[in-house]
Structure 1
């Protein structure tokens, strides 16, 4: 599900956090309410790492990652880098990048299989992204904006793009990423999607100003209700089988009182009921 939250009265959730399928980074020194929301939803599934990068809280804008790796900006100190290495799962690669476009979270967006990057990013950086995150990388823009990490966000299930993205561009990007994409906004009409939310394959967090319609679009495109819906469907099937069994038992006990028969019941002349196997 998608949850509304604020970081010290800011709705830019994606500025102060980074979420993947194997870990979550949360800016150190934030409000207790912000961290408690993340902990209640994620702590049983993935580790939550509280940190700063370059001594700042805007960690979501100076790093990018997926379940396989994490890339941090050159402003990350040795102490912070060591803390991240010790706190992240052992199978997660981590590397500090010397890139002139140091706001990695604004210039790069990725899931576990593919990534989009700023067209002017260094060739060496592109190779590092491919190696550490173990993904394919494509240079592109979103609705004419080069900051792909600011104006889009996608997971393995789907993605949200800048509201002015053309239908042709949506189709091309969807084919490139092999996931469904739609346009939308967060925080009551903001196009800064990457700054306004974070998500993985089963949860999402967005600013408190996000409207109910925006929230429903986020939940739909990221397929955050798919597991819950499957459970509801399975539960319905289970209850249906119980009801059929109860009907079968009642008709078997009181055949003359039954006003209707199950769909698999056959009636012979003379009032004799012959019941076919229900399961």
Structure 2
């Protein structure tokens, strides 16, 4: 299912929430209307929480069906919440804490920022149970912010080269295409939350942009 939404009129919905094939997480302060949109569009249970005492859940955590990578500034209360779920949980011991902005993952692989140490990359690989490769994409080190990947496809920033797209495809084992959200924004994650069954898209996203999302993620 494809659905358009906002969080209190803000179309940058991916900053505050994220999803994979089995679950979605959203800010504790997200309105009920948004939670309903997210759960129905992606056909997953939605859990609400803060991360590092912020509402920036989509920017702060990275996850797939196997596990959740959490930043080292997560609080003990928040950590206990995640440990209560049926997922592997790991706190990544790295000074770079906006993990959602730094990791582009699906259930087959993960592209991670070159900011991460080799130890952090191994921790991410272990908790997500996938192969990990550090990449700079078109000069972006915030590789998680410029794309969204599911088990069917990936959509990334329009500035990426064919070689970069091929590298992503090889690691994530899905076809990869370029696009934008919310009237030309290249930071795809900010305006798109998706899995193989559906997508929740920022409300200012145009019809051509939506068509591109549907094609790239095979949601037709």
Task: Return the alpha-carbon distance in structure 2 between the equivalents of residues 182 and 98 of structure 1.
Answer: 32
SS at match of 2:25: strand
Task: Return the alpha-carbon distance in structure 2 between the equivalents of residues 125 and 93 of structure 1.
Answer: 16
Q: Map 1:228-239 to 2 at 5 A.
A: none
Structure 2 residues without counterparts, runs of 5 or longer:
none
Deviations 1:81-110 (A, max 9, x none): 112222x2x2x1011222111110111110
**Kept after mapping to 2: 8 A contact 1:49/1:84:** no
2:7 aligned with 1:7, yes or no?
Answer: yes
Task: Return the alpha-carbon distance in structure 1 between the equivalents of residues 41 and 166 of structure 2.
Answer: 33
Higher strand share: 2
Greater relative contact order, per chain length (Cα 8 Å cut-off, separation 6+): 2
Aligned partner of 2:121 in structure 1 is: 126
Aligned partner of 1:28 in structure 2 is: 28
SS at match of 1:159: strand
* TM-score, scaled to structure 1: 0.75
Structure 1 residues without counterparts, runs of 5 or longer:
226-279
Task: Return the alpha-carbon distance in structure 2 between the equivalents of residues 144 and 41 of structure 1.
Answer: 33
Q: Cα offset for 1:4?
A: 1.0
2:144 aligned with 1:149, yes or no?
Answer: yes
Deviations 1:92-136 (A, max 9, x none): 101122211111011111000100011120111111111111000
**Kept after mapping to 2: 8 A contact 1:160/1:193:** yes
SS at match of 1:79: helix
Aligned partner of 2:50 in structure 1 is: 52
Aligned partner of 2:101 in structure 1 is: 106
When structure 1 is superposed on structure 2, of 175-184 and 75-84 the one drifting more is: 175-184
Higher helix share: 1
Aligned partner of 1:71 in structure 2 is: 69
Q: For this pair of structures, how many residues does the alignment match?
A: 220
**Kept after mapping to 2: 8 A contact 1:106/1:149:** yes
Deviations 1:168-194 (A, max 9, x none): 322333233321111100001001111
**Kept after mapping to 1: 8 A contact 2:35/2:46:** no
Task: Return the alpha-carbon distance in structure 1 between the equivalents of residues 37 and 169 of structure 2.
Answer: 31
Residues 6 and 170 from structure 1, CA distance in 2 versus in 1: closer, same or farther, beyond 3 angstroms?
same
Q: Map 1:143-182 to 2 at 5 A.
A: 143-182=138-177
Larger Rg over CA atoms: 1
* TM-score, scaled to structure 2: 0.95
**Kept after mapping to 2: 8 A contact 1:2/1:218:** no
SS at match of 2:33: helix
Task: Return the alpha-carbon distance in structure 2 between the equivalents of residues 156 and 30 of structure 1.
Answer: 26
Task: Return the alpha-carbon distance in structure 2 between the equivalents of residues 211 and 35 of structure 1.
Answer: 22
Task: Return the alpha-carbon distance in structure 1 between the equivalents of residues 101 and 8 of structure 2.
Answer: 21
Q: Cα offset for 1:195?
A: 1.6
Aligned partner of 1:39 in structure 2 is: 39
Q: Cα offset for 1:80?
A: 1.0
Task: Return the alpha-carbon distance in structure 1 between the equivalents of residues 24 and 208 of structure 2.
Answer: 26
